[in-house]
């Protein structure tokens, strides 16, 4: 169990740093109050989750799931930050942006996961 927890912790640290760099980089480029960086991270993380899920299973490497899926991608995707972004948009009176952001993030993330899994199913 300690080995599994160590994998999750190490992967989580890597994913969290990658999330911070990605979100802050996109925020600088976008220059708006809209949380585009968080949305990009959630969609990309969902796509990668679909890819890894199929790739690891096809190769019998599910022992790496704690490191890569729960750890790296768990640290990288930001649904708690997503929820806070929705609330902040709502609290500032941007109700349409809050609704569009919430629906768009969920729909695009689920779609990206399906796309990643579909892509990998055709490759393995």
Which amino acids are annotated as binding site, given as ranges? 74, 77
Taking CA atoms, 102 is separated from 23, 32, 36, 68, 122, in Å, by 17, 17, 12, 26, 30
Which residues belong to the annotated binding site for Na(+)?
74, 77
Phi then psi for 31, rounded to 5 degrees? 65, 25
Contact 104, 40 (CB under 8 A): no
């Amino acid at each position: 169990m300690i080995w599994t927890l160590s994998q999750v912790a190490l992967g989580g640290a890597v994913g969290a740093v990658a999330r911070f760099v990605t979100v802050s980089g996109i925020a600088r480029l976008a220059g708006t109050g809209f949380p585009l960086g968080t949305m990009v991270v959630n969609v990309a993380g969902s796509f990668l989750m679909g890819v890894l899920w199929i790739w690891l299973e096809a190769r019998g490497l599910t022992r790496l799931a704690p490191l890569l899926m729960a750890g790296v991608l768990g640290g990288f995707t930001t649904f708690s930050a997503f929820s806070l972004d929705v609330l902040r948009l709502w609290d500032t009176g941007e109700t349409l942006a809050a609704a569009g952001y919430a629906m768009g993030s969920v729909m695009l993330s689920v779609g990206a996961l399906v796309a990643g899994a579909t892509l990998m199913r055709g490759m393995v």
